[in-house]
Structure 1
Amino acid sequence: MVCLYKRFLFLAATSILVLVSLHSSVSAQEFGVEEGMSEKDLLRMGNFRGALKKYLLLLDADKDNLEYKHIIAQCYLKINGDKSLAIPYLESVWKEDQSNPEVLADLAKANHFILEFDKAIKLFNEYMQLTTDPIAMAEAERQVEMCHNGKELIKYPLKITFENLGKKVNSPYPDFTPCVPNDESYLVFSSRRKGNRGNLLDYDGYYTSDVYMSRVKKGEFGKAANVGIVNSESDEEVGGISPEGGNVLIFVDDVFQNIFANIYLAEKKGRSLRSLQSVSGFVNTPTTIESSASITTDGQLLYFASNVQGGFGGMDLYVSRKMPDGSWGEAFNLGPQINTKYDEEYPSISYDGATLYFSTAGHTSMGGYDIFVSKRNVEKDQWASPANLGYPLNTAEDNMNISFSARWNRASETESNKYAYVSAYRKGGFGDLDIYRVNFNDVENQLTVIRGQIRKKVLIDYSVYKTIHYYTKGGKTIMVPDELHPWYDGRWAHESSKEVLVKPGYEYKTMLYFTKDGEQKAFSAKKFPKDNPEWTFVKIRNAEVKQKGYVAPKVLYEELPLPDTKMYITDINYGDRYTYVPSQKGNYVIILPSGKYELLIEPEGYQSKAIPLNIYDKGSYEAEIIKDYVFERED
């Protein structure tokens, strides 16, 4: 998926070299610097737009080159644009040459991007039959899970409209991470447009990112202006905002000032922001990434994303309380209810502190990062299972942040979230990521995720088998265990082999008999005199003997995934019926609005089950229900 900002510390040194080398000439040459680099260099640096231009020219001169076609498709998949453009190239390559399974994986990803979920699932499953890379296998399995999530989410689309904020705010370059205060009096966002401070190109071909602000005039956003006081020649991006708009959180990655991926705070004062202030205390560290944050209305709690060690994996969400001296205290992980082994970022806390929005590549994402919401149970002091905000707000691409405007009703002590701001690539935009105002035309759907695993209960086979090899010589046959095969004496011919069952609680023991000077002696299989010609082989004896200290296993059954299953959901009130198929690991995801349903599970070779399923709303609403089903043969 396409990341919206750059946070790769291992590329810092490369970035410095590129930035410094371009500093003197970039204002004159602009994007022309790509002309001096090879297509392979551009690809290696992550400049996929520049590489795409060059490979398209190369393909014009060599129209049957499969390598060029594959790379062109990969570039289309990496940039913010129409991912469907990759599909004809990938289909052409795979038709001509099926030796590289990664082509199939890319074709699956392309179909995933354009919401062709069934086709993507089929292609990912075919790819998993071909690859031997365990990491690639795990990634493909996760993509299949996301496709199943997507199939469910698009059944219940949100009633929303997207309003592009227009050329006063957006540009042909990436404009992203929009944030507004509750009253929508101004907008801050990040941009990698031409004209940024320093006017420097980064290694990926875009200008370094700066923070911009647009103020509302007569009900419309005015022309966005660079907030020069918080920007530098490196990267500054909007990382969050306080609900009332008094503070803006800024992500800073300044290779010239030795500031690597930390959060700073800029106070809103008058028509602009004040200079950056370090967030002191336990939030930022020199060796970790802090990408985004949100501060509560009273200024006492800071929610932020970090990859500090000790989390659940990747970027996690943490909370820190402000100390009396103004510093931030020890940070606490929000726990497994919010965080996953994937990345969680861009926390946004509501005016009353009871609702948390954030982006994650985990939970029931339909692809890349999706935006989720979690409600805080004040009595239990814990966050509820997060709910996916839904399609088309979320898509199969990265949906990184959301910023809601809100009107606080003092009488009911509730927020009214009618409008929100997001960044996305949408057809009809200005060419890359644009800022959109989202109008929620109806009450948001309360959808419940039902997920779990279908398993089968099977008897554990504790049987132990021993391989026996049959050797013959001069009409005589001996039985040689596997550890003595091949037999040390080459005059014996190997005739056949077979598996023999060893009884539970017994082990196979072998004794070999040799003679020397008329005296016969028995040897173990490990210490017989095979290299001593003074000893003559007589016979071999195999026997089952009781194991010392043997204890019969207490666990007689195990539960294994049961993927060959069909699941049917019937809406009791309306009669609608939907079909579901679990993944190869038996995992299933079903997303439903409130109502009464019947869940019918039909596993191949097992008795089917019909289960009543009640999904509640209002005060009994649950964002997620986890339920596993285990089947056992009735023999």
Structure 2
Amino acid sequence: MRTAHLIVLALILFGSRSVFGQSRDRLRAVEAFDDGMQYILDGKLSRAAKRLQQAADYDPTFLPGVRSLGTVCGLQKDFDCAIESYRTVLEADSTFSRLLYFQLGEAYLQAGDARQALDYFQRFQALQDRDRGAFGLMGDQEMATEQRIVDQDLDRSILSAQISADSTNYVNATNLLNMGAPINSEDNDYFPFFTNDLTGVLYTRQESRGDEDLITAKRRGTTGKFRTSRFGTFNTQQPEGMCTLVRDGETIFFTLCHENEGGGGCDIHSGVLIDGRIEHTEQLPNYLNSPTWDSQAAISCDGRQLFFASTRPGGIGGSDLYRCYRLPDGSWSEPINLGAGVNTPYDEEAPFLSNDAETLYFSSMGHESLGDQDIFYSRWDPSRERWSKAMNIGPPVNSPARELGFHLSADGRQGFFASDRAGGMGGLDIYSFTLNEELTGKEVTYVSGFVTDSLTGEPIANQEVPVAGGDVFRTNYAGRFFICAPPDAPLTLQVDNAAYDPYRHTFSIPRWDNTTPYRINLPLTKSGAPPPPEPEVKPRETYTETLQALFAFEEYELTSEQQSALRVFADSLDRERIASIALIGFTDETGAVDYNMRLSQNRAEAVGAYLRKLGINPALIVIEEGKGEIAGQREKKLNRRVDIVVTMYGG
């Protein structure tokens, strides 16, 4: 509604002098008002707010100044100030402006008071039956703006307030948190895409001059502090849009916007992420990219489906969402519009597909929203082969402000998005939340397969790997292929290569946390070659690092101090060299033997749970049977502990 605010300011600017009085206080208020309006025209909202506040202080009965103060406060997202100013005007003169009722409703909605917002929207709607002459000069001046709001905005605003007021129906997300600095800044930060282990993130930052750049942030462990830098070698003075990694951790899609001989526009590119650099970049084919705007690619978990936004001709309206399929030869099919369940005459953008490829998340201006652009989801209906009618994901993810750029972690539970809601650090900020299990989709296990020569160990590149009764995958330069497979189910693969014996094997795929893929090996044997010799296994040198976690009498839950110590210890470890972590719990000799055995076990399990939360691979953590009490040794408080013994591989 920023446009409506500016229109109202223009009306006040050119129509308020006819209501001015001539008292000394009024003249001082008029002078401050004139300065404030000039500051608005110059784009200096903070100075405008200061002068308009002075105008209201000089003469509280000078209602155009008070109303303008509220409008500027709204533009600055200080909605408490806007509400106070608007209410002051209506309490002094309930017929000062009919449009002001709608503005007050908008301010309440943005401030999170949906019920008050609904009340004022409905008052504005009821007042449409009154003659505009009852609202004096403003009635005539605001007539065109009012009509546009009634025709285009009012029904949606009422619906937004109703949905927000009944937010108990939405339990899709909890634990909403602004990610803070350095991820967020005073600029716009949006389109987050996290690595599978949540230690890295790629996102877009738009500076005040409008240029978009790709930013990378990295941290040690899932609780470390992020450090940011510009990403890639293609950041330019032209916009670079949404960046998407395939779950295999190496295939990347990104948008570049450049002027060229064919005109302006944005196109989707792909590349391979190798040692933090993008290699083998190429622009996707012309039938996928169009002469207009194509951007915001999203890839399915296994890399077989590509979704993107485009303003190409022939869509439903605005920017629409499209889908392509990976063909057996590795190319992409022609784009297909996702249809009316997803697309509207307005803008749809920023698609994201769940791991099981059954739920599509996206941002829209055209569906029933809570105010501005919201995040929606649609389910794939296999019986009708189309996407279902989009549903609003609801509060607290969506708000009366703008939300876009939805992303889920590898396990489907932790979500991320961007919003310009009040209380942020600047424009759009990136937020995290926990998603309800009903929307996370079916479990999948990330599987990395490696096809190699059984004798030399050399990778076999560009090799087709068919799944029995399913898709055909192809190895990359390292002989690697990637599959998103259902856990606790057999995965039968076959490989046919003229230089090797036929290969066929059924793998048992476990449940996996997906921070790193589950690895399977497919060694191919050359025809007539002897079986490969058993590899000589040389034991790796190891050493240990230890830490003790001390507990109070009969306690087994970790205190904040213990958590801090464990976090520092975990951050000091080289995660790639951890062989195992043994946890052994103890108690003092006070109490029954059976009770102390359980207590020592509970202490060890509490430490193990927190280490997993810090991002330590659960497969490396061994919780040994509780040792119970230690008698006759040193102080009792030193016996109430868990020994943490970390075995590390040597250099």
- Measure, in 1, the Cα distance between the counterparts of 2:71 and 2:396: 25
- Measure, in 2, the Cα distance between the counterparts of 1:298 and 1:158: 26
Query: SS state of the match for residue 236, structure 1?
Result: coil
Structure 2 residue 335 is the aligned partner of structure 1 residue 338: no
> Counterpart amino acid of 2:157?
Q
Query: SS state of the match for residue 366, structure 1?
Result: coil
- Measure, in 1, the Cα distance between the counterparts of 2:177 and 2:356: 27
Structure 2 residue 401 is the aligned partner of structure 1 residue 397: yes
> Counterpart amino acid of 1:62?
A
1:88 aligns to what? 84
Q: Specify which of 276, 299, 303 is matched with residue 299 of structure 1.
A: 303
Q: What's the offset of the Cα at 1:68?
A: 5.2
1:271 aligns to what? 276
Q: Specify which of 374, 383, 398 is matched with residue 370 of structure 1.
A: 374
What is the identity percentage for the equivalent residue pairs of Structure 1 and Structure 2?
25
2:183 aligns to what? 169
Q: What's the offset of the Cα at 1:345?
A: 1.4
Confirm or deny: 8 A CA contact 2:293 2:311 kept in the other structure.
yes
Q: Specify which of 206, 215, 228 is matched with residue 192 of structure 1.
A: 206
- Measure, in 2, the Cα distance between the counterparts of 1:404 and 1:294: 12
Runs of 5+ in structure 1 lacking a partner?
4-37, 194-200, 408-416, 447-635
Q: How does 1:322-333 map to 2 (within 5 A)?
A: 322=326, 328-333=332-337
Query: SS state of the match for residue 105, structure 1?
Result: helix
- Measure, in 2, the Cα distance between the counterparts of 1:72 and 1:127: 21
Q: How does 1:223-372 map to 2 (within 5 A)?
A: 223-238=227-242, 240-254=244-258, 259-274=264-279, 277-286=282-291, 288-322=292-326, 328-372=332-376
1:217 aligns to what? 220
- Measure, in 2, the Cα distance between the counterparts of 1:306 and 1:168: 31
- Measure, in 1, the Cα distance between the counterparts of 2:383 and 2:431: 36
Q: Which has the higher contact order (CA 8 A, sep 6+)?
A: 1
Structure 2 residue 437 is the aligned partner of structure 1 residue 443: yes
Query: SS state of the match for residue 49, structure 2?
Result: helix
Confirm or deny: 8 A CA contact 1:43 1:51 kept in the other structure.
yes
Q: What's the offset of the Cα at 1:252?
A: 4.2
Q: How well do the aligned residues superpose, as a CA RMSD in angstroms?
A: 3.6
1:544 aligns to what? none
Confirm or deny: 8 A CA contact 2:219 2:227 kept in the other structure.
no
Structure 2 residue 148 is the aligned partner of structure 1 residue 135: yes
Q: Specify which of 104, 108, 125 is matched with residue 107 of structure 1.
A: 104
Confirm or deny: 8 A CA contact 1:58 1:68 kept in the other structure.
no
Higher strand share goes to which structure? 1
Q: What's the offset of the Cα at 1:327?
A: 6.3
Confirm or deny: 8 A CA contact 1:367 1:397 kept in the other structure.
yes
Confirm or deny: 8 A CA contact 1:315 1:345 kept in the other structure.
yes
Change in CA separation of 1:337 and 1:387 when aligned onto 2, cut-off 3 Å? same
Confirm or deny: 8 A CA contact 1:51 1:75 kept in the other structure.
no
Confirm or deny: 8 A CA contact 1:164 1:434 kept in the other structure.
yes
> Counterpart amino acid of 1:89?
S
Q: What's the offset of the Cα at 1:394?
A: 1.7
- Measure, in 2, the Cα distance between the counterparts of 1:426 and 1:142: 18
Deviations 1:178-210 (A, max 9, x none): 1124443521112235xxxxxxx42xxxx6331
Change in CA separation of 1:322 and 1:444 when aligned onto 2, cut-off 3 Å? closer
> Counterpart amino acid of 1:53?
S
2:114 aligns to what? 117
Confirm or deny: 8 A CA contact 2:36 2:49 kept in the other structure.
no
1:536 aligns to what? none
Confirm or deny: 8 A CA contact 1:280 1:327 kept in the other structure.
no
Change in CA separation of 1:428 and 1:336 when aligned onto 2, cut-off 3 Å? closer
Confirm or deny: 8 A CA contact 1:186 1:216 kept in the other structure.
yes
Structure with higher Rg: it is 1
Structure 2 residue 167 is the aligned partner of structure 1 residue 149: no
Confirm or deny: 8 A CA contact 1:243 1:350 kept in the other structure.
no
Deviations 1:291-337 (A, max 9, x none): 42212244343211223343333222111335688765432211112
- Measure, in 1, the Cα distance between the counterparts of 2:271 and 2:88: 51
Change in CA separation of 1:242 and 1:428 when aligned onto 2, cut-off 3 Å? same
- Measure, in 2, the Cα distance between the counterparts of 1:41 and 1:304: 43
Confirm or deny: 8 A CA contact 1:2 1:398 kept in the other structure.
no
Deviations 1:249-291 (A, max 9, x none): 43444569964344444543322445864333234333x4334
Q: What's the offset of the Cα at 1:392?
A: 1.0
Structure 2 residue 390 is the aligned partner of structure 1 residue 386: yes
1:418 aligns to what? 413
Confirm or deny: 8 A CA contact 1:149 1:364 kept in the other structure.
no
- Measure, in 1, the Cα distance between the counterparts of 2:168 and 2:202: 31
Change in CA separation of 1:307 and 1:431 when aligned onto 2, cut-off 3 Å? closer
> Counterpart amino acid of 1:443?
E
- Measure, in 1, the Cα distance between the counterparts of 2:313 and 2:36: 37
Q: What's the offset of the Cα at 1:351?
A: 2.9
Deviations 1:367-422 (A, max 9, x none): 22222222223343222333332321222221112110123xxxxxxxxx221112
> Counterpart amino acid of 1:233?
Q
1:534 aligns to what? none
Confirm or deny: 8 A CA contact 2:53 2:66 kept in the other structure.
no
1:56 aligns to what? 49
> Counterpart amino acid of 1:289?
W
- Measure, in 1, the Cα distance between the counterparts of 2:74 and 2:230: 30
Q: What's the offset of the Cα at 1:109?
A: 1.2
Confirm or deny: 8 A CA contact 2:52 2:68 kept in the other structure.
no
Q: What's the offset of the Cα at 1:217?
A: 2.0
Higher helix share goes to which structure? 2
- Measure, in 1, the Cα distance between the counterparts of 2:399 and 2:258: 32
Q: How does 1:16-27 map to 2 (within 5 A)?
A: none
Confirm or deny: 8 A CA contact 2:176 2:397 kept in the other structure.
no
- Measure, in 1, the Cα distance between the counterparts of 2:2 and 2:416: 19
Change in CA separation of 1:295 and 1:326 when aligned onto 2, cut-off 3 Å? same
Confirm or deny: 8 A CA contact 2:375 2:404 kept in the other structure.
yes
